Amino acid sequence: MPIVSLMETRFQLVTYMNTSPRYIAMRILLKVEEEGGYSNLALSHEMRNASFSELDKGFLTELVYGVIERKMTLDYFIARFSSVPIRKMNRYVLVILRIATYQLAYLDKVPSYSVCDEAVKIAKKVIPVNAGFINAVLRAMSQAKLVIPAYSKKLFHQYNRYLSVKHSMPEWLIARWLTVFGQPFVEALFESSHRHATFELRANTTKITCDALRALLEENGYEVQKSLIAKDGLRIANPAGIIQTKAFQQGLFYVQDAAASLVSHVLNPTKNSRILDACSAPGGKATHLAELMEDAGEVIACDVFPHKLGLINENLMRLSLNSVHPTLQDSTIRNATYDSAFDAVLLDVPCTGLGLLGRKPEIRWAREEQDFASLHRVQNDLLHTCAEYVKPGGTLVYSTCSIDPSENQERIHAFLSAHKAFSLCDFDALLPEQLRNRGGQDGMLTLYPQIDDCDGFFISKMRRVSS
């Protein structure tokens, strides 16, 4: 090929790579699956480096989250029309087919001929030898009705397998939660994971009131409602571009789901308190505690990774908060200088994250059942170590973004049996009306996505009644 033609071909490929949402979706999905990356971070990175309209950004986001969320269902459809088993497919072929199948099955506004043509165009650029195969599978698929048939033993052998295909969830998780919660609850929970997660933020009340922030955002074209759960929270219906606004850059708000915001309200700090946030990065709860204390007092914000302390510092600078002190500290290891030194300790512990299935769909594939045992050890270590840091009369708040009782109620009961100086305390009066009498009066509360329209979360509050 002449040098000029070769250069033109390369230029066309680079241009296509940076302007095609489907091509970039393929790149992100491969990165998430092969490197274990987070889809939200990969998306943000690609959007910063591509010249996209808001429409294209929305389409790219839909493709990435949709394919990750529905992966098992998509593979079920692909297997019906492919002569090659899924396990033997080239990784590019499989991802291209998943992207196209998602459009055919779930995006009614995209014409099937366009879906097929774009998939083949991408295939010709990255794996031309398989373009014909991809075309044949998608043409056959586009003429069929892509629906999950009703449960029958002939098709699915077991009901767990049916739910796995229908809701694109790993079978081990289905079996586990059917035992814990029962069938109607689990079906509703998994159904809720297919809805787009809500977008909420909290006002930085050291700079602006919640009502004033709402008015400001509405003036800028955002559709805003008061959060149903967080007193200083707002729900945004059309959040695209909100972190590029002057309001964000000036530190007038922090993006945080209502469930996570509720943790700080349950801790209920008073002005001039001394608080330890033992697992702090990126600092959402530490900065919230500082705001609730009017930036008067001290929040020691610990993390074990130096680069994560950088994230806390970035948020502190943007929010203009002075009372939070990022500290490099492995909170599973006892620091005797902290003994009985804090009015309150917040333990937002590492967990499976299985309350975030709707917000971070890759979690369902990143976790395995054996992960629970190692996480339980870390959770226990954090509770036992950080309990020593609470003053007599002070409080210990434990939280997770999981709804699994083994990470939540079971950890608290085990801790209390070993630490008689602590007891559960009633925080029902600190909750919004719709969450009263849900467990807060007994010192423990679980929020469920399908019930509370927020992230799945667990919060427990305990008081140190003696030394």
C-alpha pair distances (Å), 433 with each of 199, 429, 430:
21, 9, 9
Cα R_g (the chain), whole angstroms? 24
Residue of 351, 401, 425, 454 marked catalytic: 401
Q: Are 366 and 439 in contact (CB under 8 A)?
A: no
Q: Are 353 and 360 in contact (CB under 8 A)?
A: yes
Task: State how beta strands 457-464 and 444-447 pair.
Answer: antiparallel
C-alpha pair distances (Å), 198 with each of 201, 220, 278, 452:
10, 20, 27, 11
Has 210 been annotated as catalytic? Answer: no
C-alpha pair distances (Å), 26 with each of 15, 99, 142:
16, 7, 20
Burial of 399 (0-12, 13-18, 19+ CB in 10 A): buried
Distance, in Å, from the CA atom of 91 to the CA atom of 33, rounded to the nearest integer, reads 10
> Could you identify the residue written with the tokens 């099937």?
112
CA nearest to 395, candidates 232, 251, 273:
273
Burial of 378 (0-12, 13-18, 19+ CB in 10 A): middle
Distance, in Å, from the CA atom of 175 to the CA atom of 330, rounded to the nearest integer, reads 35
Residues with Cβ within 8 Å of 28's Cβ and at least 6 positions away in sequence, in order, are 39, 42, 43, 46, 64
CA nearest to 243, candidates 263, 217, 262:
217
SS3 210: helix
Residue 88 corresponds to which amino acid? K
CA nearest to 88, candidates 135, 120, 130, 123:
130
Helix (H) / strand (E) containing 58: helix 54-69
Q: Are 50 and 347 in contact (CB under 8 A)?
A: no
As given in the structure block, the two tokens for residue 324 are 């939070």
Backbone φ and ψ of 410, nearest 5°: -65, -35
Distance, in Å, from the CA atom of 405 to the CA atom of 381, rounded to the nearest integer, reads 18
Please, what's the b/e burial string for 49-77 (b: 16 or more CB within 10 A of its CB; e: otherwise)?
ebebeeebbebbbbbbbbbbbbbbbbbbb
End-to-end CA distance of the chain: 81
Which amino acids are annotated catalytic? 401
